[in-house]
Amino acid sequence: MHQGYDLLIIGDSVLDIYLNVNRFPINAGSTVISPNMVTLPGGPAGLALIASRLGLRVAILDRVGDDPFAFALINELKANGVETRFIRGGGKTAISINLVDSAKEHSFVGYLGDGLTEDDIDGSLVMSSKAIFFEGYNLTERRKAYYGILKAAKIASSNSRMVFFDPGPLVGKIVALDEFIAMSSTVFLNEQEAVSYTGLPIDAAIERMAGLAGRDFVVKLGERGAVLIEEGRIEACAAFRPSYIESTIGAGDAFDAAYIAGVMHGQSKRRACELANLMASIRISEGLLSTPSWDMLLSMKTSD
């Protein structure tokens, strides 16, 4: 029998490699030397790190490579309290090369890796976890990882576990998107993703989602904060402007992690949404490893 976890991350563990460039575009045939390089867990792995720092018991179920990328990824997660023994080798590690220029604009060059398979999904592990989280990068085609995530979502949903889903920027390409949304307790979208999902301008998109019963939506609006759609009710969540922009990369994952932590620590969903905005602001201005403890985050001023 597995010990219980608050949050089980399903797939998409990625190692982010940050490089700085002077400006975009980078032309064919050019040589650009970054003054530094930083490697950190990204995507759901970055979310796992933040959620662990915010006091949740977090585990990741995934398949990576037997390579230095996986070594760096797993070591950083372990150092931050994330359970990594369910991350299996034998595949290829997902990588994102994040290029950031002097204006803090960015571009990604990524490799999805092999990801988990249906056979990797341990039903008893899913059942012993209070909640699962997955995102949409591996759901755009029916490859092995698609069926692994689908199996985990079905087990969690049918057994009344909380299911958190962030479709991401490829929302319009996800195969059977409505099936994954129907299995979810909470769906995270940013403004562009909400528009893409509904085919409507943002205000009409929010109204449309408010009419979908059975799940919550949280729409991230950047400088305008966020909107929580709970049981058909629409509530605004206050924004927190960062004092300095280090990088906007990973702000969405930080938001998701803090929202999940807030809900699982017993906060109201609106309060969790405001704490998520605050956490995203901290991520933008101070970076991934600046994540405060849960008590510190609660002590910071919000509009509550």
Is residue 297 very low, low, confident or very high in pLDDT (cuts 50, 70, 90)?
very high
Domain contains 182: yes
Residue position matching structure tokens 């906007």: 248
What is the tens place of the pLDDT at every residue in 78-132?
999 999 999 999 888 999 999 999 888 899 999 988 889 999 999 999 999 999 9
* Predicted local confidence at residue 96, as pLDDT: 94
Domain contains 206: yes
What is the tens place of the pLDDT at every residue in 206-244?
999 999 988 999 999 999 999 999 999 999 999 998 878
Domain contains 39: yes
Is residue 302 very low, low, confident or very high in pLDDT (cuts 50, 70, 90)?
low
Tokens of 283: 């991520």
What is the Cα–Cα distance from 262 to 269, expressed in whole angstroms?
A: 7
Residue 1 has pLDDT above 60, yes or no: no
Domain contains 80: yes
Domain contains 89: yes
* Predicted local confidence at residue 301, as pLDDT: 63
Domain contains 233: yes
Average of per-residue pLDDT across 234-259 = 90
What is the Cα–Cα distance from 54 to 215, expressed in whole angstroms?
A: 24
Q: What is the CATH number of the domain that holds 67?
A: 3.40.1190.20
Predicted TM-score (pTM) of this structure = 0.94
CA atoms within 13 A on the CB side of 154: 10
What is the tens place of the pLDDT at every residue in 122-138?
999 999 999 999 999 99
Domain contains 304: no
Domain count, the chain: 1
Residue 197 lies in domain: 5-299
What is the tens place of the pLDDT at every residue in 151-168?
999 999 999 999 999 999
Q: Are 279 and 271 in contact (CB under 8 A)?
A: no
* Predicted local confidence at residue 2, as pLDDT: 63
Q: Which residues partner with 229 through β-bridges?
A: 217, 234
Average of per-residue pLDDT across 281-285 = 92
Residue 247 has φ and ψ, to the nearest 5°, of -170, 140
Residue 217 has φ and ψ, to the nearest 5°, of -120, 140
**Whole-number Cα distances in Å, 45 to 27, 71, 133, 279, 283:** 32, 13, 11, 16, 15
Strands 129-135 and 5-10: parallel
| CA-based radius of gyration for the chain | 18
H-run or E-run covering 71: helix 68-79
* Predicted local confidence at residue 248, as pLDDT: 83
Is residue 304 very low, low, confident or very high in pLDDT (cuts 50, 70, 90)?
very low
Domain contains 288: yes
